[in-house]
Structure 1
Amino acid sequence: MAQKKTSSSSQSKSTPRASTGKQEPVSPEGAWTGLEQQVLAAMGPKAVGQYPSDLEPMSLVFEQVPDETGLLPESYQRFVEALGYRWLNTGKKALAFLPPRWRASASQGMGEPNRQWTDVRAEREAGRHVYRFVMFASADLNDVNGFAFGRGAGDDAPVVFQVEDSLPLRELGSFEAWLGKALEPLRKAVAKPAGAGKKPELGDPLALLQESLGEAAAKARQAGAAALLDTFPRDTRAIALLHRKLGVVPDMVAEFTELKTLTLKGAGLKELPAVLGRLSKLEQLDCSWNAELATLPSELGQLQHLESLNLDHTAVATLPEVLGQLSRLRSLSLKNTRITALPAWLSRLATLEFLDLSQTDVPPGELEAFRKARPECSMYPRP
């Protein structure tokens, strides 16, 4: 409502001044706390939480950790000093702040714009990489998606970047501006609850505790893997343990004799059990995004019905010669692995139709030789 004009001489000293219409900006801490209270009231204690500041991943990909000097804005540092490393999860939307060692781990998994991953990885392995980005928050770490700090194009002040599929792609502004926008989807998710009969899956959205050091976490992973497998009928044809952070695949997987598709993507695996060779009807095996998976059991050569093998984003450096016995293999994906040479038997796999060697150190001469030997096979990277 418009105010009536009043002369200054008739105004009492006790009369409050007219409002300018401007509201004091809400601090990042206040914005988060206010939303957290709404989420807590609407969805209960499983929808909010906090990571311990000393939470540490089971391993880091590279020995060298990022030097964060100058990359963490003061507003962000005030935020975590006041609130810690908190998370919200509505079941539809989530956002979590990474504690320091997890910040380092996620940053190691990021590439850099306009640079080959093989060059970046070589620098990090040698301990001489200068980190330009530090990942600090995420709702989904499995494909290294989230938000990172980096130098803005306009000045030297650190700003927030959107990270998608491990690459910082675009600037999103200051920490304060970014957080204000990032909380909006969470507010809307709280305002529009799930339909009748639907129970959103709450809890730690990144499952960091399951991937961190500690005997209790290791036991939980082992119990979880067996318990989860036990829920499937033994005659099931497809099992997806997608991003379950299990750490192990129990030997009971061999009981699923009708299995045709097994997805172990992002399961935190260091090795595969030899009993996988007993899955005689298996057609598709996805072991991608297991960063510590370095070797393959020779028993995989027994999978005579296997048509697709995905080892993307693993530490696999060599392929067992027995894989040359996979007479039905059509697709082999080795993106961002440590493969440095192609085994001779690979070009003799007559059924192979697709081969992905992107972001590997296989010499260009070997790639070209394979193309000439197998021109009918779709191959990446393209010439």
Structure 2
Amino acid sequence: MRTSSRKLMAGLYIHIPYCHSKCSYCDFCSTPNIETVENYVTALIGEYRLRKDEVNEPLSTVYIGGGTPSILPVTTLSRLVESLGHPVLEEFTIEANPEDVTPEWVDAITRMGINRVSIGIQSLVDSELKAINRRHSAARAEEALMTLKSGGITEISGDLIYGLPGQSLESWNYSLNKLIGYGLTHISAYNLSYEPGTRLYAQLISGKVNEASDETIESMYALLTDSLRKNGYEHYEISNFAKPGHRARHNSNYWNMTPYIGVGVSAHSFDGKIRRANGNRIKDYIKSINSTNTYYEVEEESPENILNDYIITALRTREGINLNDMRLRFGSDTVENLLSSAKRYIAGGRLIKTDESLSLSETAILISDSIFRDLIV
């Protein structure tokens, strides 16, 4: 596929729900049972054909996520990519796990036009990887990074998690600085969340693992932001850092209300007015699409919900809420009500107000959820 530098228009998200094994912290829609993979990809192709006219704008970004998309056989992945019809893209991303990255795989995806890889490193300490049931070792992760770079992939995003079981401030610093040393264009870093229904949550409840203290998380976060800033990364979204000019364009669609289509189980879509959500049962999905029926439910949104989505997604970004844009969308009274609710956070330095914007301060990100709750209607 060709690439272009034109303005973002619309995005396509493709969900691959297959994994080699389930990580202990994961609550995403995923399964290690790959027997349906070929039929599933056929259904993905069919769903996109059914729904591609939901957005009027041409595609500018494609993101294949999961799950673990790198688990797909190369021939199957190629079949999926070819079905998109060679749009001119600014960015084409695939998620990968280190154990799947080989020179042959990198060569194959490059030939398909995929120009960005988001790789799940999570940690570069073997004991921490083992604690969350990751299949790769630290050495394998570093080998994968070198393979991507030597294979000509220049847009690489590395994922890290802080607050892992057994992780110390020192080991977090080690993983962070080791990853920085590879000169990646983008790094995503997430505070570990113990989600009900996951193996890790069960271990927490049973006392087999301990949750990191608030003080430890605050120290890890401060180390994260300081280290990345000193190494030339801009903190452009709550969990995302990029070298100048290398923000994740597809993900930015979600935060600036750009239309996008999501295909596959559990995928979400937004056409600029209506949000749609696919169900999460793989066999039901395949059956529905094979019968030329869509598999989504429309998420009815009240004016209040639309406003709340706007506030939360905008405040996740470095730029924050554009107050002039908000006035045009929702009216001056709505902006004044927001600023009234924000007064104590502005006075306390948690929110930063200018004539044109309202944004989170760096120190407010760890308590952003509580701030959002106070600002939404």
Q: What's the TM-score, normalizing by structure 2?
A: 0.26
Larger Rg: 1
1 or 2 for the larger relative contact order (CA 8 Å, sep ≥6)?
A: 2
Q: What's the TM-score, normalizing by structure 1?
A: 0.25
Higher helix share: 2
